[in-house]
Amino acid sequence: MTISSPTRLEALLAEKAGRPVRAGEVVTLPVDVIMAHDATLALLIDEFTRLGCAVRDPDRVMVTCDHFAPPARIDWADLQRAVIDFSQRRGLDLRLYQGICHQLLLEDRRVTPGTLLVGADSHTTLAGAVGAVATGLGATDILACLATGETWFRVPESIGVTLTGAPKPWVMGRDAALYLLGHFGEAGAGYRALELRDRTANGLTMDSRAAICCMATEMGAKAALFVPDAVTAAFLRARDGAPWTFPDEDAAACAETLTIALDALDSLIACPHSPANIAGVREVEGTPLHQVYIGSCAGGRLEDFAMAAAIVAGRTVAPGLKVIAVPSSVTVMREAMRRGYIHTLLDAGVCVSNPSCGACGGIDKGVLGSGETALMTSTRNFQGRLGPRDSAVYLASTAVCAASALTGRITHPADVWWEEGR
Amino acid sequence: MALRGHVLRYGDHIDTDVIIPARYLNTTDPAELAKHCMEDAEDDFIGRVRPGDFIVAGENFGCGSSREHAPIAIKACGVSAVVAKSFARIFFRNAINVGLPILESPEAAEAAANGDELEIDLTTGVIRNLTRGASYQAQAFPGFLRDIIDAGGLVPYVQRQLAAR
């Protein structure tokens, strides 16, 4: 019997464990970064206090207030007060209304290739964009991590995903994520991890990588990480120059592999009520909309604002259509303002809200009314997530959302932008 | 310990948003959460569920948000265990951590219909469908998870660990 070489995930986790590990094994590992936010941390504060626990290493923790940002209801304000007080008392890194937890982690010096990151939120997988091993846990697991500094993992099998080709100008990372969702369905990557390699002509941006890793959780994946490359190195150099290493690339033995040819990919869309209910935009074009939403950890980054601004520039959104754009962080918003994107969106009639999770979770501003249909860049379209059970949500890239904002109907981006040869 | 109750049957990919919608994440009180359990999955779950009942579902039960409110709500409304073909990974951990018994058995889940009477032995993982006269063996938990379950959840388990340091 030959012993195959370890996957990147196995190699990374072996480094943490200080011994070889293989998929299927359960290992207890110290975690590098722990994240919790206002909606989930609230659940563990009383228990943590009752048990008399101490935070083992406050320097490894980030707490965000992004779900109730700022609170629109008294009960949410009460929950958030407890989160703010807890964080301040224990000397934790509190990010109050600075943006969505996952975007803030992507922007954080502590998160580099190989970082073992756990967060009390399912979309924690996003940090895999920089090569971190990042996964979501529930509140009690996070409580245990805060107290002990470690947690258990079942080492996942890896699925190797290679991206090739040069995408059409309106095809974004989100479309690759939608393609993967169509391929795997809601559970097809369950308990496994995606190891992504970027072999595209020009390299995907970090923003597109983030969109893909974020949505991996909707396929059931435990983690999704881009093998660090020149794009990663440039991103980290520009971010803060934080030092990093990564196990050398070798023949990683993924049990299953998949290649996405981006040049053959066109805009995709997830139809109600599942993020994996995938269709081509052409198949559902013309569907009337009540709301368009650009934001969330799956689509509120600078690249999204650049795309939205390019499409709506000099035009106005459809009459009566609610169009909302929410930057994923203050850093994104500041840069989008500096480059004029926010100005362009405001001129077109878009409502630009403060950096936060916004309507994505059905909590903050932008929820739906009875019988309403929305097109969003957000993460999920489960029945009832954004509003009553008879509301409906389609999910697509910012290019599709911005194009549809102009017409009030699901619209292919090529029809409103590229027809003018821009 | 043998549990006995009736089946409340659901399909694949029951997500945590329908188990407990985000609009109710305004409380951490199990009794309050229980009032809205499965509210977006069906019209009258709370009227239908009886203490001791089992939720039986298809693939990927508990997918979506990491909210631990979901297993807490299920447990607090009297459901004594969830049987599914498979569980989403965060829900799987959360259920064990909060002490909601879960059993993975594609065969038992496939065969069960609404209203069937089940008897479940949590120690052995044997699921008996009394209505259909069939018996199934659920997937065994790794020993390590057994320890968390036996301790009564992750909090007492961690307390013990910290005390031993």
Provide CB contacts within 8 A for A372, sequence distance 6+: A290, A291, A387, A391, A392
Residue B56 to chain A, least CA–CA distance (Å): 17
- Do A187 and B86 make contact, defined as CB atoms within 8 angstroms? yes
Residues of B with Cβ-Cβ distance to A53 under 8 angstroms: 162
């926010």: which residue's tokens?
A: A342
Q: Which chain A residue lies closest to B43 (C-alpha atoms)?
A: A389
Residue B27: pLDDT over 90: no
Provide the pLDDT for residue A251.
57
Residue A422: pLDDT over 60: no
- Do A190 and B60 make contact, defined as CB atoms within 8 angstroms? yes
Widest CA span of chain A, in angstroms?
Answer: 67
**Could you say which of 3.60.15.10, 3.40.1060.10, 3.10.310.30, 3.20.20.210 is the CATH number of the domain covering A157-264?**
3.40.1060.10
Residue A420 to chain B, least CA–CA distance (Å): 40
Residues of A with Cβ-Cβ distance to B144 under 8 angstroms: 26, 152
Provide the pLDDT for residue A2.
47
Domain A25-154 has CATH 3.30.70.120: no
Q: Which chain B residue lies closest to A148 (C-alpha atoms)?
A: B162
What is the domain partition of chain A in residue ranges? 25-154, 157-264, 269-415
- Do B27 and A186 make contact, defined as CB atoms within 8 angstroms? no
Residues of A with Cβ-Cβ distance to B159 under 8 angstroms: 51
- Do A385 and B26 make contact, defined as CB atoms within 8 angstroms? no
Which one, of A28, A40, A43, lies nearest residue A148 by Cα? A28
* Band (A250; pLDDT cuts 50, 70, 90): low
Which one, of A119, A139, A140, A143, lies nearest residue A52 by Cα? A143
Which one, of A129, A104, A98, A131, lies nearest residue A119 by Cα? A104
Domain A269-415 has CATH 3.30.499.10: yes
pLDDT in tens, A356-389: 999 999 998 999 999 999 999 999 999 999 999 9
- Do A384 and B18 make contact, defined as CB atoms within 8 angstroms? yes
Q: Which two tokens stand for residue A24?
A: 């299927």
Structure-model confidence comparison of residues A346 and B163, the more confident one: A346
Closest in A39, A362, A380 to B21, CB measured = A362
Count of CB pairs separated by less than 8 Å, A with B: 122
Residues of A with Cβ-Cβ distance to B25 under 8 angstroms: 39, 363
Interface-testing mutation among B12, B26, B86, B100, with chain A (most A C-beta atoms within 10 A): B26
Provide the pLDDT for residue A3.
61
Residues of B with Cβ-Cβ distance to A76 under 8 angstroms: 26
Alpha-carbon torsion angle A132, A135, A139, A142, nearest 10: -40
DSSP 8-state class, residue A155: P
Burial of A415: CB neighbours in 10 Å, binned 0-12, 13-18, 19+:
middle
CATH topology match: A25-154 vs A269-415: yes
pLDDT in tens, A254-295: 889 999 999 999 999 999 999 999 999 999 999 999 999 999
